[in-house]
Amino acid sequence: MVSVVIINYNTFQLTCDCIASVYQYTKGVPFEVILVDNASTERDPQAFLNEFPSITLICSKTNLGFAGGNNLGIRAAKGDFILLLNSDTYLLEDSISLSVTAMQQRANVGVLGCRQIFPDGALQYSARRFRSIRWELFDLFRFLLFVYPPDKRGAKMLGQYFKHDYSMEVDWVNGAFFMLRRSALSQLPDKELDSRFFMYGEDVLWCEQIRHLGYTVYFLASTTIVHISSGSTAIAKQLQLRRIMMRNELLIMQLRKGKGIYYFSFAILFLAKEYLRLSIKWVVFKTTGKLIR
């Protein structure tokens, strides 16, 4: 059985579309839908039960963030597999059953993610490597990567360098579609996900922790979902969110490598590169009105 945990925070229609797609396409495996409302003010969350009477609705009195909300859902989950599914996603096929089958065939996979696209069909970079000094240097001087054949270059770097056209073990996967094996989750402290981050970077942290237990993280290319993702064109908000993500990336690096020479060398390189990138985004937005993804 799969427990599908969805967090709602003032996204009633998006969440309804997401839930409807789960019921429409999931045929090959028994499942339950657990909806956690994170203290929404948009409308009464009881309205979800009018649309979907069979879901389990959990209403939080406060906004617990992504991790805290998901942990509320996990506590109520009965499945051997738990899928954290963003409210701004929708299925195009029976991705849940295909993902469960892939995990059942690979007993050492603790986390699985699938291929994701934007509504316009553009690819999202949902299969990733952990950041490192080596990765940052290759990304900065990317012409050096052309000494590798395209497939090897993609597998080495992942992210924007990877066509996401074949399945493989990766370092981490995007949290919009994040399937967990219950037996792996049960080995974490309190049998729950780390909630030190309110938002952004949790998926990286969780994959690091699951891998530390001896499990692998798997990217499944044979099924695709739509992830609407942030559509905000407010440049100030986008830059603020990116700064939060940068801070969390540094905290994750500190957990992985400690706070020594490697950490400080990485931090200097990473922050310089990212602030240069943010500056370019700002200039492009101010000049053209377009926000670079």
Task: Report how far residue 94's alpha carbon sits from residue 223's, in angstroms, rounded to the nearest whole number.
Answer: 8
Q: What stretch of H or E contains 247?
A: helix 235-257
Alpha-carbon distances of 59 from 44, 63, 82, 90, 201, rounded to whole Å: 10, 10, 19, 22, 24
Spatial contact of 190 and 203, defined as CB atoms under 8 Å apart:
no
For residue 232, the model assigns a pLDDT of 44
**Would you kindly state where each structural domain of the chain is located, as residue ranges?**
2-126+164-227, 235-288
Task: Report how far residue 193's alpha carbon sits from residue 189's, in angstroms, rounded to the nearest whole number.
Answer: 8
Mean pLDDT by 10 residues, the chain (293 residues): 97 96 97 97 94 97 94 97 97 98 98 97 96 93 85 92 96 97 94 89 95 97 92 61 89 93 95 86 71 61
For residue 34, the model assigns a pLDDT of 98
| pLDDT per position as a tens digit, 108-160 | 999 999 999 999 999 999 999 999 999 999 998 888 888 888 888 999 999 99
Task: Report how far residue 151's alpha carbon sits from residue 177's, in angstroms, rounded to the nearest whole number.
Answer: 25
| Largest distance between two CA atoms of the chain | 58
For residue 240, the model assigns a pLDDT of 78
Q: How far apart are the first and last CA of the chain?
A: 36
For residue 242, the model assigns a pLDDT of 81
Classified by CATH at the fold level, domain 2-126+164-227 comes out as Spore Coat Polysaccharide Biosynthesis Protein SpsA; Chain A (3.90.550)
For residue 181, the model assigns a pLDDT of 98
For residue 151, the model assigns a pLDDT of 87
For residue 199, the model assigns a pLDDT of 80
Beta-ladder partners of 107: none
Contacting residues for 123 by C-beta, under 8 A, at least 6 apart: 115, 116, 117, 163, 164
Is residue 218 classed as helix, strand or coil in its secondary structure? Answer: strand
Task: Report how far residue 110's alpha carbon sits from residue 103's, in angstroms, rounded to the nearest whole number.
Answer: 8
Contacting residues for 137 by C-beta, under 8 A, at least 6 apart: 269
The beta-strand segments (E) located in 141-200 are 168-170, 172-173, 177-181
For residue 27, the model assigns a pLDDT of 96
Token duo for residue 205? 């942290």
| pLDDT per position as a tens digit, 94-105 | 999 999 999 999
Task: Report how far residue 163's alpha carbon sits from residue 184's, in angstroms, rounded to the nearest whole number.
Answer: 29
